[in-house]
Amino acid sequence: MTNKNAKQLLTGNEAAVLGAIDAGAEIMFGYPITPATEILEGWIKTAQTNKNLKYLQTEDETSAGFGVVGAIAAGVKSFTASAGPGHVLMQDPLSMAENLRLPFVGIMMQRGGPSTGTVNFSQQELNLAAFGGNGDGLRIVYSASNVEEMYKLTLLAFDTAWKYMFPTILLGDGYLGKMRSTVNLPKPIRPIKSHKILAELKTPTHLRNCYSSEEDFGLRLKQNIGEWKKIKSKIVLSERHNLKGAKYLIVSHGLVAEACRDAVNLLREQKVSVGLFRAISLHPLDTLALTKSLSGIKKIFVVESSLNQFSRVIKYELYPNNIPIVEISRPAQGFTPDEIALNIKKYL
């Protein structure tokens, strides 16, 4: 366990490593890729002195993903971290984990596309995280907004994955990964124990990844989808800020939501009655809390650093909805609070 007796000066990537350790992770599979490389480096550095921790630098991200799948099948808590094109390459093992109900944990520090694109910042991997691969999106996706949350949500990602047996992905970004901040890390709760998936029982465990008929596969998918629907309300997380008396609502996530929080405070000083809904779980979305936030709202502003990927989620979840939605997007670029406030005021 990490030392919680004093404040710590950490980057987001360092916080993720501490979160994985405190979650009981035993092995990391990974391939270096900016801006997530420090997670792999930090894990390896810690493993030099903590012999309970193992690692394998694989030849690519696809291999890293299948390494996670294999370790999980043996009951070993494992994870990976990647970004951008590496996240793309992991869709094959992620699709397998989704179908086989394996607690795959991935920390994805988003970067701008396509392919190499830029290596600093983006919110363009939401679609990829939630719906990548040839499946139906039975994956849990969280979005961190600050360094401390990188620690907390890494812990939560492992517990959620192993409790509900669905792949779980934490989205960060390059700025958040390299940003250094003073944090007070909370005392972690006892992590959920792992268990052997391929257990030695009287009858062999069969992880079926190939189906000879559409009907057989359909029955399996129906079961998975049914269980997904049952647990959705237990997973959702969100935060609401300054909603009292609000006539306008900003909806955002991740590091952009931190800028939106400051923009809300700035606009309130200018007598603009605006509030913030911050999604922490992006998939599933906390639709009930969002709907409750709409009381008295005349206009919704979805602010994101992608071309309306998050906005499409909001529109789908709120349909039918008569409140106008304004999309403020800046793909793979950040926002300052002043810029957000100016954009909001254009539509008032």
* CATH number (domain holding residue 340): 3.40.50.920
Nearest CA-CA partner of 55 in 76, 26, 16, 14:
26
Residue 327 lies in a domain: yes
**What is the pLDDT, as a whole number, of residue 2?**
55
Q: Looking at 194, 217, 235, which one is the last position of a domain?
A: 235
For the chain, give the mean pLDDT.
Answer: 95
| 259 in the same domain as 225 | no
| 303 in the same domain as 317 | yes
| 252 in the same domain as 194 | no
| 297 in the same domain as 243 | yes
Cα(28)–Cα(40) distance, integer angstroms: 8
Phi first, then psi: what are they for 104, rounded to 5°? Answer: -70, 130
| 122 in the same domain as 206 | yes
Residue 177 lies in a domain: yes
- What percent of the chain is modeled with pLDDT above 70? 98
Above 60 in pLDDT, residue 1? Answer: no
Structural domains in the chain (count): 2
| 301 in the same domain as 190 | no
**What is the pLDDT, as a whole number, of residue 50?**
96
Q: Looking at 170, 202, 235, which one is the last position of a domain?
A: 235
| 141 in the same domain as 73 | yes
Residue 329 lies in a domain: yes
Above 80 in pLDDT, residue 322? Answer: yes
Q: What is the pLDDT of residues 189-222, one digit of tens each?
A: 789 999 888 877 777 778 888 999 999 999 999 9
DSSP code string of 91-129: HHHHHHHHHHT---EEEEEE--SSTTS-SS---TTHHHH
Residue 212 lies in a domain: yes
Cα(279)–Cα(239) distance, integer angstroms: 7
Cα(258)–Cα(248) distance, integer angstroms: 17
Please name every residue paired with 181 in a beta bridge, in sequence order, or none if there are none: 10
Q: What is the pLDDT of residues 240-266, one digit of tens each?
A: 999 999 999 999 999 999 999 999 999
227: domain CATH number? 3.40.50.970
Residues 126/309, Cβ–Cβ less than 8 Å: yes
| 224 in the same domain as 211 | yes
> How far apart, in Å, are the Cα atoms of 303 and each of 18, 178, 244, 300, 314?
30, 23, 20, 10, 11
| 244 in the same domain as 181 | no
**What is the pLDDT, as a whole number, of residue 198?**
86
Above 90 in pLDDT, residue 286? Answer: yes
Residue 72 lies in a domain: yes
| Confidence grade of residue 7 (pLDDT, cut at 50, 70, 90) | confident
Residue 288 lies in a domain: yes
| Confidence grade of residue 5 (pLDDT, cut at 50, 70, 90) | low
Give residue 251's domain range: 238-345
Cα(237)–Cα(308) distance, integer angstroms: 21
Above 80 in pLDDT, residue 16? Answer: yes
Nearest CA-CA partner of 75 in 200, 171, 222:
200
**What is the pLDDT, as a whole number, of residue 98?**
96
Q: Looking at 235, 264, 299, which one is the last position of a domain?
A: 235
| 131 in the same domain as 30 | yes
Above 80 in pLDDT, residue 157? Answer: yes
Q: What is the pLDDT of residues 34-62, one digit of tens each?
A: 999 999 999 999 999 999 999 999 999 99
**What is the pLDDT, as a whole number, of residue 341?**
98
| 255 in the same domain as 219 | no
Residues 193/26, Cβ–Cβ less than 8 Å: no
Q: What is the pLDDT of residues 62-117, one digit of tens each?
A: 999 999 999 999 999 999 999 999 999 999 999 999 999 999 999 999 999 888 88
Residue 3 lies in a domain: no
Over residues 20-34, the mean pLDDT reads: 97
| 168 in the same domain as 99 | yes
Residues 143/132, Cβ–Cβ less than 8 Å: no
**What is the pLDDT, as a whole number, of residue 4?**
52
Over residues 123-146, the mean pLDDT reads: 97
Residue 2 lies in a domain: no
